[in-house]
Amino acid sequence: MPNLLDEITTRLGAQWGYLTQAQEAYRAAHGAYYQGAWTHTEAPTGGAEVAPDLDSHPLGQQATWRDVGGLPTTMAARLRIDTYDGPHGAGYVVVMQTRLDGVLWERRVNVGAETERESEWRPLFGEDAEEGGD
């Protein structure tokens, strides 16, 4: 795994507490975790720090990253939050993507009961890289 991915993991770790606190506050106020749209249209490349789009939000959910908080001012990986609510309880997955040497890398960090949703940094190829797989 490229060292830069370790570096991005370290940077996320420094921010992690803010993100999870923001999620718990949002859930306390709204009864569900915040679903976050991609912070960047494209994954940052080569470790470049790029400011996130704080105004992005999913359709039908008015709250933006600006409302929820928990993000750094610049990021070397784009991020989105997938929420879930199932038989074993509610949770969310923080999905991160960054592009290094032309390869799209992705890591998923799960917070909640469905631990099988977690995955370490892995390169995405072919249909996975195209968000396909159907």
Binding site for another protein (CB under 8 A): 32, 35, 58-61, 82-88, 90, 114, 116, 126-128, 130-134
The residues that bridge with 103 in the sheet, in sequence order, are 100
Query: Taking the complex as a whole, how short is the minimal distance between the CB of residue 61 and another protein, in angstroms?
Result: 8
Q: How far is the CB of 10 from another protein (least distance, A)?
A: 26
Nearer to another protein, 29 or 48 (CB): 29
Nearest to 102, CA basis, from 53, 49, 42, 51: 42
Query: Smaller CB distance to another protein: residue 7 or 85?
Result: 85
DSSP for residue 93: E
Closest approach of another protein to the CB of residue 107, in Å = 14
Of 53 and 114, CB closest to another protein: 114
Amino acid at 83: T
Least distance in angstroms from the C-beta of 43 to another protein: 14
